[in-house]
Amino acid sequence: MREIEYREAIREAVIEEMDRDPKVFLIGEDIGKYGGAFRAYKGLLEKYGPERVINTPISEAAIVGAGIGAAVTGYRPISELMFIDFTTLAMDQIVNQAAKIRYMTGDNLNVPLVIRTQGGAGRGVAAQHSQSLEAWFYHVPGLKVVMPATSYDVKGLLKTAVRDNNPVIFIEHKMIYLNKGPVPEEEYLIPFGVADIKREGSDVTIFAYSNMVFKSLEAAAELEKEGIGCEIFDPRTLVPLDEEALIKSVKKTGRLVIVSEACQRGSIASDICAKINQKAFDYLDAPVKIVAGLNTPIPYNSTLEQACIPHKENIIGAVKEILL
């Protein structure tokens, strides 16, 4: 199977959906001639024109608000916010409008809106451009939250997101756009709420998403040399969450390590821990362990930045701790 970059898989998904449905369009900052901050839309302005690739002023509230307005009138917009940090400028639109319109109209209005954005640390862009804020949206009923790790997953999930009749927060990690992975040439979709086992193992389940999947796979490869089998569980979508598959994996291994780049306080990692303690406690042979980012703003200094987020060594240490 061919291997393509993560950002190219995004581009292919967008092209396929725009070709399939003339109601799909793009709106955001620097998405026109520049092709987006991470070049996922390269060449799309020339292909579809400015009526379907709408380059906007610097106004996140307008980008999301226009997307909501278009969505409730039958279009399927993809609104891009360059950094997840900038969702702060559109939170009223996202939380009080997009997430609630379908409910408050008694299912008479749908909001088929995809908000594409990216988060995470690693590029030395400091505290206002490096946050992992997925827990904010995970907390809000009415929003779906998707965080794909691989080229295969990002293409299949983005196509599903565009066709969904509900608002989808589609979060990509800034460090994986150039990663390559196998992607079929034929069309495929990945349903929401279906996790993927990235690596089979029998000793411990590692729950990881987005860029932490790759760090967990590195840790698993090292631990295998010591005879420790790690099962890497990638939820792919956080809302909806494949709880049944996670419980099945924990039942198999008896141990769970949760890995997340976001800081632990008020995190998705903490909620997953609570879910397992409530629903799968009898299967556990050791307490659940969380490996997460520090409760601090992300520093500009690269050494300090790296000290704030989980690495392979942290995951290895957590696994060995719960195996003792």
Catalytic residues: 60, 129
* Residue 191 three-state SS: coil
Q: CA 127 → CA 201, 276, 286, 294, 311, distances in Å? A: 36, 32, 35, 13, 19
SS3 7: helix
Residue at token pair 């992992």: 132
CA distances 197 to 8, 25, 67, 166, 183, Å, are 23, 33, 34, 26, 17
Closest Cα to residue 12, out of 188, 171, 146? 188
Letter string b/e over residues 203-223, b meaning 16 or more CB atoms within 10 A of that residue's CB: bbbbbbbbbbbbbbbebbeeb
CA triple 315-321-324, angle to 5 deg: 140
User: Widest CA span of the chain, in angstroms?
Assistant: 60
Angle in degrees, CA 24, 151, 169, rounded to 5: 50
Residue 36 bridge partners (DSSP) = none
